Structure 1
Amino acid sequence: MGDNNLKVIQADQFYNQITDLSPYQFQLLAQGDSWFSMSTANIPASSNMLLNMTFTKMAVAIDCAYPGRTLKQMAELPKIADWRQSPYFRGLLFGPREQWWSALLLSGGGNDMIDALQVLPGDEHSTTLCVDRLLRMPDEWGAQSDVTKYIMEDGWMKFVQYLISHYCAIDQARLASKYNKDVPIITHLYDYATPRNSGAGLGVGPWLYKAVQSYHIPVEDWKALSTEFMRRLAGVICALDKNPPQQASTLPPPPIAITPLDNFHVVWTLGTLSPADTTDTGPTQDWYNEIHPTKAGYQELANLMVPVIESVCNSRHALANNLLTMSTKAAPARNLLRKTTAAKRKVA
């Protein structure tokens, strides 16, 4: 077995032309945010997790991801007014260009939380998310001795409900498919991003930095507060996996009961990268900017995802081959039954 870099084809290039995927043993459909697309306006320096995946078999991913895309935008039908939505994902999963996929790779939830953290008092339902705010102003801070005193728990509960509704919408899109009702969904957690004044360029970002500044969070609590939210988000995502990573038991439990999804697999990535400091304004060892890893960072994350993807895809292929073998063996018996039934009708 050799090393095979994942072939990544953009969905808009693939959708309207005939591309032969038969040489690839693993045929993957990817949907997500910048961790599967582009991390910075500096194109030569940009990377993502998909571009750093290497498999033991030939693999291709049709990439529907786009920077800044939220789970809500991934789950809903495209709207002309929302340029971050596109028809390709649904068209490839259960629409005109549907085919049998080895797995669905998903990178989502991070932008939803970042957007929700930036919702200010009075703006709760004027945003595209239509969620309550997650942070408290200084005159609302609780009496707790840790960073939970800054968190609006009611807002967090409603945000979790919002997240789950859109994960379930993606699951419903899978169930609408002819060939992919049981296609595995493989997703990752994020990692501990540090609020800092480091954007992606061209006026994009920073993100967490804006939130902690707007809510006047003391700088000494920035990292701990971001860590708390990243762990809470991870707890929600892991709750959707019937067999979550072992480390999930250390996460804060979601505030509501969550029913796991069928064939939903979570890859543990928390704590993989070396965190930046709040004073860092440029690239660090593992982080290119506030919320996007460097190429080396993405490589570390990709190395965690690939074994899970290979294992899940091999199981799906084995099951499909077994069903095909059983169907082939049963064909002669079905033909004999048809002939016998036809003969009996003639005698009658």
Structure 2
Amino acid sequence: MTSVVITGNRYLIHPEQADRFGPFEKTFLAEGDSWMDASAAVQGSLPFYLAEEFNRRGKTHLIVNISTSGQTLQRISQTMSGEYLWWLQQLRYDAVLLSAGGNDFIDAARDEAPGEGLLRDMQGQPLPADGYACVRQDALASLVDGYLNPNFDAMYQALRSSARNAGTPLLLNCYDTPVARNAPAIPNLVGPWLWTAYRNNHIDPSLWPTLTAGLFKDIKGAVQAWPVGRTGVVAVPTTGVLVPAEADSTGSSGDWKNEIHPNASGWRKLARIWADLLA
């Protein structure tokens, strides 16, 4: 017997590929972005290393993975009538594992025209003492209060309304703070993310460390607020765990495979924290 992670689609077509390793002590549903995505083979993902950690502990658990790289919280909640809600109705889970919010912040910083997203356009502006001054606070409030919080609540309410999983715990990824650098997942195709956003908004590189620290403090704050007033919701304490990458590196460095995703050593550190809570 062993622990297994399998995509939802694969489990529907070939359940025997997972079930032959059972019976399972616990079953988990993984949903969210590339930190959970089983198809993110280039940089790895938490469920793969979580199954590895379960095996190291002699546990026999099943992780059904319905995550998608690049997924935003809004897209997850908008498709609740599809895969997420469907899977909540199929099995009883010991926990739902969710990684969401990070892409929403990054997209808001990177994808809008300079000065029209989460970041100020600093072209021709005096250099502030702290990079966090480059964040548009009105855009931040709109992102968190008008966008992330309602969409998370929709996911939470769907979970609590499901017949099989009304009492199932929901564990939230708090990410960790990366270093803005020119380290894409796939050169000229996927990433870098923060590096691109900062350059697009003409932010001086000397401001990048404090800007990134401030942004990821905001992400952590948003995620850590979601358990307040809600039952069975836990923010997993993963910030400050990983060794930072070198700012001038373009590949794997410290505990980071690329700019915003951990490498194998990083994933293993995070998996131990998640496995402790899921025990």
Q: TM-score, normalised by structure 1?
A: 0.71
**Could you tell me which residue of structure 2 aligns to residue 160 of structure 1?**
144
- 2:79 pairs, out of 77, 80, 83, with 77
Shift of 1:33: 1.1
- Indicate if the aligned counterparts of 2:132 and 2:215 stay in contact, CA closer than 8 A: no
**1:14 counterpart = 2:11:** yes
Answer with 45-54 or 224-233: which moved more.
45-54
Q: Which piece of structure 1 moves more, 113-122 or 266-275?
A: 113-122
Does residue 185 (structure 1) correspond to residue 170 (structure 2)? The answer is: yes
Counterpart mapping for 1:1-348 below 5 A: 6-19=3-16, 20=19, 23-37=23-37, 43=41, 46-53=43-50, 54-55=53-54, 56=57, 57-77=59-79, 87-94=82-89, 98-121=90-113, 133-138=117-122, 145-161=129-145, 162-201=147-186, 203-242=189-228, 260-310=229-279
Task: Give distance in 2, aligned partners of 1:52 and 1:264.
Answer: 22
1:24 counterpart SS class? coil
Is the 2:123–2:201 contact (alpha carbons within 8 Å) kept by the matching residues of 1?
no
AA aligned to 1:90 is L
Deviation at 1:175, TM superposition (A): 2.5
1:71 is aligned with what amino acid? L
Distance 1:149 1:263, change over 3 A: same
The 1-side partners of 2:38 and 2:118 are apart by 27
Compared with structure 1, are the counterparts of its residues 5 and 158 closer, same or farther at alpha carbon in structure 2 (3 Å cutoff)? farther
The one-character-per-residue Cα deviations of 1:91-110 (angstroms, maximum 9, x if unpaired) are 1113xxx2211110111111
Query: 3-state SS of the aligned residue for 1:34?
Result: coil
RMSD: 2.4
Aligned to 2:5, what secondary structure does the other structure show? Answer: strand
Q: Which whole-Å CA distance do the structure 2 matches of 1:14 and 1:39 have between them?
A: 14
Aligned-pair CA distance for 1:261: 2.1
Cα pair 1:24 1:59 within 8 Å, conserved: yes
Contact 2:115 2:121 in 1 (8 A): no
Q: Secondary structure at the match of 2:176?
A: coil
Structure 1 residue 147: Cα displacement: 2.2
Highest RCO, 1 vs 2 (Cα 8 Å, sep ≥ 6): 2
Secondary structure, in 3 states, of the residue corresponding to 1:72? helix
CA distance in 2 between partners of 1:283 and 1:225 (Å): 22
- Give the whole-Å Cα distance in 2 for the aligned partners of 1:236 and 1:304: 20
Q: 1:13 is aligned with what amino acid?
A: R
Secondary structure in 2 matching 1:138: coil
Q: Could you say if the C-alpha distance between residues 22 and 176 of structure 1 is closer, same or farther in structure 2, counting changes exceeding 3 Å? A: farther
2:183–2:191 CA contact under 8 A, matched in 1: yes
1:48-85 alpha-carbon deviations (Å, 9 max, x no partner): 1111122343111000011111111111127xxxxxxx
Q: In structure 1, how many angstroms separate the alpha carbons of the residues matched to 2:152 and 2:33? A: 14
Contact map agreement 1:39 1:46 (CA 8 A) in 2: no
Distance 2:34 2:63 in 1: 15
**In structure 2, what is the equivalent of residue 343 of structure 1?**
none
SS in 2 for 1:293: coil
Structure 2 Cα separation of the partners of residues 38 and 201 of structure 1 = 17
2:43–2:262: 8 Å Cα contact kept in structure 1? no
Unaligned runs of 5+ in 2: none
With over 3 angstroms needed to count, the CA separation of the structure-2 counterparts of 1:99 and 1:39, relative to structure 1, is: closer
TM-score (structure 2 length as normaliser): 0.88
Gaps of 5+ in 1: 79-85, 125-132, 243-259, 311-348
d(CA) in 1 for partners of 2:120 and 2:39?
30
Q: Distance in 2 between matches of 1:196 and 1:5?
A: 38
Q: How far apart are the structure 2 equivalents of 1:197 and 1:122? A: 19
Query: Which structure has the larger Rg over C-alpha atoms?
Result: 1
Find the aligned partners of 2:105 and 2:181 in 1 and give their Cα distance.
Answer: 17
Aligned pairs, number: 269
Contact 1:39-1:292 at 8 Å conserved across structures:
no
Using the TM superposition, give the Cα deviation of residue 239 of structure 1 relative to its aligned residue in structure 2, in angstroms: 1.2
Task: Supply the AA of the counterpart residue of 2:218.
Answer: R
Q: Shift of residue 17 of structure 1? A: 4.9
Deviation at 1:138, TM superposition (A): 2.0
